[in-house]
């Protein structure tokens, strides 16, 4: 029966290829958009993940996401250090500032001011220059994408000077950093250097980064910090998801991508469903002949499910392959950094394709189950 089912499916190559195309197109559209959606969401909190040395983020208790940060008082650093279970705590400054390049053009950048002594929060990988060069006067490091944005099509050259808030800043290195949501250049400087660039005010401390003592969980320390200081303390994972949830609930990102993903599902279901249903209808005489020869309904259902599974497997494989080819082909594009196909996207898309095939097969199976064997003898 399996061989007969495959012969029936492959007998009309036009419809067979149409089925494959419908499933492949739906898979491509859904898997690509799901992967891009997940990559963009990760970008919203990428700067949190880039801080690999600290497990705890302490901030004002009104913070909703990483880019909305009311400043803390300098004394809050010492209050956090005095909480039992805190091994160490350091300062971190973060803000968006306007810079002026050598040619007079302006660029908005994200500036991080990291602890002068420990460099906690600094980039993990340097492309050119050394992290220790931040100790030089007015020194800063920029991420690779930021360098290409500020000085497009120009080779790396250290010693470039820019102005940040009308103060001199000297480039001493280029690093790798995760792409931020806004795709702005990311600059790193010592906290004391960043204080010279920041707008003058009573407060400029954005976050306190801390680490728990050995044997004490970061979650327990966060609760202690909150009770003792009244500030918000979150683990890296908690702050990551807090930022993502904010963007999911307060922006149009999920709606726009959700519409595209839904369209992929609907188009795939419509094309595949119609073609597969018509394919079954046109082969009713063959199914009727098999029924007349004594083939049970269970065997006929198995034949249709086999045909649907084969179409789904080939179409899904082609769609996933095209999506992978897209991301491999764009991996060298700096602005698309961090966007790649995830295992979650593959599993989710495969499940959606399976659902499409099962719904389509059910509609076709119904016609076969109510089929009278005498149809084979009618003109």
Average pLDDT over residues 351-361: 78
For the chain, domain boundaries: 2-44+252-377, 73-230
Rounded (10°) angle between helices 297-329 and 343-369:
150
Distance between CA 13 and CA 11 in Å, rounded? 6
Distance between CA 76 and CA 228 in Å, rounded? 11
Contact 310, 6 (CB under 8 A): yes
Query: Which residues are registered as beta bridge partners of 111?
Result: 95, 187
Alpha-carbon distances of 87 from 90, 215, 239, rounded to whole Å:
11, 11, 20
Alpha-carbon distances of 299 from 252, 276, 302, rounded to whole Å:
48, 18, 5
| Residue from 330, 59, 71 nearest 179 by CA | 330
Using one digit for the tens of pLDDT, what is the confidence trace for 206-231? 999 999 999 999 999 999 999 999 99
Q: Residue 378's pLDDT band (boundaries 50, 70, 90)?
A: low
Q: What is the pLDDT of residue 219?
A: 94
- Residue 372 pLDDT > 70: no
For the beta carbon of residue 259, count every other beta carbon within 10 angstroms.
12
Q: What is the pLDDT of residue 375?
A: 53
For the record, the structure tokens of 242 come out as: 């807090």
| Residue from 97, 180, 104 nearest 145 by CA | 180
Distance between CA 112 and CA 93 in Å, rounded? 5
pTM across the whole model: 0.79
SS3 36: helix
- Residue 92 pLDDT > 90: yes
Q: What is the pLDDT of residue 5?
A: 65
Distance between CA 15 and CA 6 in Å, rounded? 13
Average pLDDT over residues 257-271: 75
Contact 187, 110 (CB under 8 A): yes
Residues 6+ away with beta carbon under 8 Å from 283 = 8
Distance between CA 321 and CA 315 in Å, rounded? 10
Instruction: Return mean pLDDT, the chain.
Output: 85
For the record, the structure tokens of 45 come out as: 């909190």
Distance between CA 196 and CA 168 in Å, rounded? 10
Distance between CA 281 and CA 374 in Å, rounded? 15
Q: In terms of pLDDT, which residue wins out, 339 or 186?
A: 186
Distance between CA 16 and CA 14 in Å, rounded? 5
């Amino acid at each position: 029966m399996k061989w007969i089912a495959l012969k029936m499916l492959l007998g009309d190559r036009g419809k067979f290829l149409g089925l494959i195309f419908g499933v492949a197109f739906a898979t491509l559209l859904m898997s690509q958009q799901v992967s891009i959606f997940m990559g963009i969401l990760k970008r919203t909190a990428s700067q949190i993940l880039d801080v690999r040395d600290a497990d705890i983020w302490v901030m004002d208790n009104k913070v909703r996401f990483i880019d909305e940060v009311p400043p803390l008082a300098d004394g809050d650093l010492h209050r956090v250090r005095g909480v039992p279970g805190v091994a160490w705590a350091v300062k971190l400054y973060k803000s968006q500032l306007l810079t002026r390049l050598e040619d007079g053009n302006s660029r908005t950048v994200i500036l991080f001011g990291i602890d002068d002594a420990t460099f906690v929060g600094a980039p993990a990988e340097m492309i050119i220059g050394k992290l220790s060069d931040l100790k030089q006067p007015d020194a800063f490091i920029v991420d690779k994408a930021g360098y290409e944005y500020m000085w497009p099509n120009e080779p790396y050259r250290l010693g470039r000077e820019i102005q940040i808030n009308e103060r001199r800043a000297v480039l001493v290195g280029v690093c790798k950093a995760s792409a931020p949501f806004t795709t702005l250049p990311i600059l790193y400087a010592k906290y004391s250097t960043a204080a010279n660039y920041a707008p003058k005010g009573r407060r400029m401390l954005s976050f306190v980064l801390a680490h728990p003592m050995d044997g004490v969980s970061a979650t327990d320390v966060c609760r202690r910090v909150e009770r003792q200081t009244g500030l918000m303390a979150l683990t890296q994972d908690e702050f990551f998801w807090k930022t993502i949830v904010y963007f999911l609930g307060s922006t149009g990102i999920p709606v726009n991508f959700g519409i595209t993903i839904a369209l992929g599902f609907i188009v795939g279901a419509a094309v595949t469903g119609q073609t597969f249903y018509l394919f079954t209808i046109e082969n009713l005489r063959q199914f009727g002949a098999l029924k007349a020869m004594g083939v049970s309904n269970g065997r006929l259902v198995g034949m249709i499910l086999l045909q649907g599974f084969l179409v789904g497997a080939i179409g899904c494989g082609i769609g996933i392959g095209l999506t992978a080819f897209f991301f491999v082909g764009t991996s060298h594009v700096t602005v698309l950094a961090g966007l790649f196909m995830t295992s979650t996207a593959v599993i989710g898309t495969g499940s959606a394709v399976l659902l499409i095939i099962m719904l389509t097969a059910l509609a076709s199976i119904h016609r076969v189950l109510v089929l009278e064997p005498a149809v084979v003898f009618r003109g």
